[in-house]
């Protein structure tokens, strides 16, 4: 009998979930030491096959540079594991018998892991390690355009995990890839958490599934070059970042914003390091190719080098060009240069001073990428602090390549390929997602007071205050620290504390 593909895929997902439930129940009895042994084996397998899987991903998707994907695979495996291996996620985490409190980490159950085509093999490695570290089973939903390399990755790490004592079917993958299959996975009542990395529509679907979800929105991070910056180093870091795997990491820079007093020096350095400033005519020609008619990014430019993009649109550029730059003065949804571009294309803005640059960066972020990441190249601590206080991002990266700094390769942030965007970006967290986000905390609390004691507040404690009433309209700033301390003391006395 010939079954409809969508119905067949839904049934296949139901079978995967049934298997995962058994694995979940088995993992619930595993100690942190047992889980760590499994994760170490997965990380070792990822390291051993990093080059093989990198080449498979580049060949299948046509995105990026396989040599850079090797580093991504190492970040998703050994670097992720090295960061988390000594941390306890499951079991008794904290015990305070004096105050009668205990905290216990427990798995959320089954992780539904949605994998993008831009970072397919590395994201599978990373999500599997953080899921198993927290005692969870995982079901992987591949992007259809990267399914073969994802299947290879799952096969390699599942075999390594089984040999390390992992329960059967703790690591599974959807082999019949349809939207219906992914939807059936996300909406199943047996799913404990959805880890959604990919397009905005998919992330919204994850948050609308009815299950807990951790999703990330698009990146569109500007890179600010301040007058105090080491300009050659700043341009080098930006270009290294923007050309790393041909710009497929969402934390990579999308715009350069600088001050007019150093603009000539910045532009000269861009020219020297392989940047090419498009003419107005060339910018207009390329702009029609960056976005599709529906306003989304043209997949033909994703992960392609500057030379290939220029050839696609019929622009002649110098040999050795690494990055295409377009001088811009506006930020709006119809300006493709102000949007996310997962390839070596940068918008270039010049502002009068750092205050104006600060406003321009916020304008860019609020158009797209709010809550995600931005970078700045600056040696003035006061300016850095002002940006940190005002920018609506979860990661402000200073003097580092944003693509690698955001994922924790060149910074001490947690290594991660799912970067939270915080509430301002519509995400449940602003963290680099790790195993601590895939577990719940069970709190045990011993009684320390009796009801009779709570009811037995003395008349003195509830008597009218013996101090002057607070004037109407008074603000906290109107009181001295001593007055605030006295008011706090009296409030606590009223509550019987």
Per DSSP, the residues of 323-380 read EEEEE-----TT-GGGS--SSSEEEEEEESSHHHHHHHHHHHHHHTTTEEEEEEE---
User: What is the rounded CA–CA span in Å between residue 260 and residue 388?
Assistant: 22
Facing residues of 258 across strands? 225, 350
Q: Are 118 and 200 in contact (CB under 8 A)?
A: no
Closest Cα partner for 150 from 124, 181, 129? 124
Backbone angles phi, psi at 253, to 5 degrees: -65, 145
End-to-end CA distance of the chain: 73
User: What is the rounded CA–CA span in Å between residue 380 and residue 468?
Assistant: 47
| Residue 449 per-residue DSSP state | -
Per DSSP, the residues of 376-432 read EE---HHHHHHHHHH--EEEEEESS-HHHHHTTSSSSSPP-S-B--TGGGT-S--SB
- Please say if 250 is a catalytic residue: yes
User: What is the rounded CA–CA span in Å between residue 90 and residue 95?
Assistant: 14
Per DSSP, the residues of 147-209 read HHHHHHHHHHHHHHHHHTTPPTTSEEE-SS--HHHHHHHHH-TT--EEEE-S-HHHHHHHHTS
Q: Are 56 and 148 in contact (CB under 8 A)?
A: yes
Facing residues of 139 across strands? 112, 172
Catalytic one among 39, 166, 250, 421? 250
| Residues carrying an active site annotation | 250
């Amino acid at each position: 009998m010939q079954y409809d593909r969508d119905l067949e895929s839904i049934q296949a997902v139901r079978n995967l979930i049934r298997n995962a439930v058994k694995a979940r129940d088995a993992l619930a009895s595993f100690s942190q030491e047992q889980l760590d042994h499994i994760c170490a084996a997965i990380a070792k397998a990822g390291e051993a096959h990093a080059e093989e899987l990198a080449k498979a991903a580049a060949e299948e998707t046509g995105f990026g540079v396989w040599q850079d994907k090797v580093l991504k695979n190492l970040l998703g495996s050994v670097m992720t594991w090295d960061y988390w291996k000594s941390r306890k996620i499951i079991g008794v985490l904290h015990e305070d018998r004096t105050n009668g409190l205990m905290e216990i980490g427990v798995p959320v159950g089954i992780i539904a892991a949605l994998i993008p085509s831009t970072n397919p093999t590395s994201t599978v490695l990373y999500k599997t390690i953080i899921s198993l570290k927290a005692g969870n089973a995982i079901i992987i939903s591949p992007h259809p355009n990267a399914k073969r390399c994802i299947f290879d990755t799952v096969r390699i790490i599942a075999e390594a995990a089984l040999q390390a004592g992992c329960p059967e079917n703790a690591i599974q993958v959807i082999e019949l890839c349809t939207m219906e299959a992914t939807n059936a996975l996300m909406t199943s009542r047996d799913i404990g958490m959805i880890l959604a990395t990919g397009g905005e529509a998919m992330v919204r679907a994850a948050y609308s599934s009815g299950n807990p979800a951790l999703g990330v929105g698009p990146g569109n991070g500007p890179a600010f070059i301040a007058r105090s910056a080491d300009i050659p180093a700043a341009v080098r870091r930006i270009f290294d970042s923007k050309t790393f795997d041909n710009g497929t990491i969402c934390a990579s820079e999308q715009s350069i914003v600088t001050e007019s007093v150093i603009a000539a020096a910045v532009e000269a350095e861009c020219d020297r390091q392989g940047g090419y400033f498009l003419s107005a005519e060339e910018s207009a020609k390329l702009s029609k190719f960056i976005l599709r008619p529906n306003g989304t990014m043209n997949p033909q430019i994703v992960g392609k080098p500057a030379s290939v993009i220029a050839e696609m649109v019929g622009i002649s550029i110098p040999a050795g060009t690494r990055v295409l730059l377009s001088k811009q003065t506006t930020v709006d949804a119809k300006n493709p240069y102000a949007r996310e571009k997962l390839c070596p294309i940068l918008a270039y803005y010049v502002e009068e001073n750092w205050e104006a640059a600060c406003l321009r960066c916020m304008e860019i972020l609020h158009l797209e990428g709010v809550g995600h990441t931005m970078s700045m190249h600056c040696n003035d601590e006061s300016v850095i602090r002002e940006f940190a206080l005002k920018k609506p991002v979860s990661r402000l990266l200073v003097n580092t390549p944003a693509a690698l700094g955001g994922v924790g390769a060149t910074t001490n942030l947690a290594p991660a390929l799912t970067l939270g965007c915080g509430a301002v970006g519509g995400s449940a967290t602003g963290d680099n997602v790790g195993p601590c986000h895939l577990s719940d905390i069970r709190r045990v609390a011993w009684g320390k007071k009796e009801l009779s004691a709570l009811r037995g507040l003395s008349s003195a404690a509830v008597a009218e205050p013996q101090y002057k009433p607070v004037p109407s309209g008074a603000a906290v700033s109107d009181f001295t620290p001593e007055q605030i301390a006295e008011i706090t003391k009296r409030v606590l006395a009223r509550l019987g504390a």
